């Protein structure tokens, strides 16, 4: 069964003005879709065809001859996770156990966002910045290109810092984009559910 582009969890214009419908039309409708289409072509007729996405990623990770498969499979997974990590009317300071853990780990929510922005700015070129759970601890992790956290490290929330993720709305202002993500877009319910599943 071929991989399919997962539906967005909201309408394309639902995140405006913080994240425009125009950006989503390119980022989701073209970039994400191309990863899905390319992955289908790469696995067609191989022993990976018909396997679940996570299984494909696990089977090819770290194998130089399978790098194109990994890149496209991981980007399908990463983007799906990214879309679910945003919601209309999102952002703000998370409450509950995850909010308490962020404050205990970083000192304050504001310090967490500052550290996250520093990681986003510090990611040279393309990649991702993640809030992860690692052995019961929270950490900010930056990965290049299509790379993702490797189990047992579990992702809770991610910001896509590939330029196509934000350039139409924010041009080269990656720190402003990242700040806006936490002010107006972050789906803390999604992150809290991920945290509850692994803590």
Q: What is the dihedral of CA 75, 81, 84, 89, to 10 degrees?
A: -90
Q: How many whole angstroms from its chain centre is CA 53?
A: 16
Render pLDDT for 67-107 as a digit per residue (tens, 0 to 9): 999 999 999 999 999 999 999 999 999 999 999 999 999 99
d(CA 136, CA 158): 18
Domain 21-84: give its CATH architecture: Orthogonal Bundle (1.10)
Q: What is the pLDDT of residues 31-70, one digit of tens each?
A: 999 999 999 999 999 999 999 999 999 999 999 999 999 9
In CATH terms, the fold of domain 96-198 is minor pseudopilin epsh fold (3.55.40)
**Residue boundaries of the structural domains of the chain:** 21-84, 96-198
Name which of 96, 128, 130, 136 is nearest 112 in CA terms. Answer: 130
pTM more than 0.85: yes
């Amino acid at each position: 069964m071929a991989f399919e582009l997962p539906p967005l969890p909201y309408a394309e214009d639902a995140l405006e003005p913080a994240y425009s419908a125009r950006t989503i039309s390119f980022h989701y409708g073209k970039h994400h879709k191309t990863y899905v289409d390319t992955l289908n072509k790469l696995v067609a007729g191989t022993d990976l065809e018909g396997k679940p996405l996570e299984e494909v990623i696990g089977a090819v990770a770290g194998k130089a001859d399978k790098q194109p498969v990994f890149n496209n499979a991981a980007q399908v997974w990463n983007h799906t996770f990214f879309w679910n990590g945003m919601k209309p009317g999102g952002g703000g300071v998370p409450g509950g156990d995850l909010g308490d853990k962020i404050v205990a780990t970083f000192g304050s929510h504001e310090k967490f966002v500052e550290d996250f922005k520093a990681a986003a700015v510090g990611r040279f070129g393309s990649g991702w910045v993640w809030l992860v759970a690692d052995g019961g601890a929270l950490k900010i992790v930056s990965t290049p290109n299509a790379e993702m956290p490797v189990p047992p490290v579990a992702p809770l929330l991610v910001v896509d810092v590939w330029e196509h993720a934000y350039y139409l709305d924010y041009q080269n202002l990656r720190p402003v984009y990242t700040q806006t993500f936490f002010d107006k877009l972050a789906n803390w319910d999604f992150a809290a559910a991920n945290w509850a599943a692994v803590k």
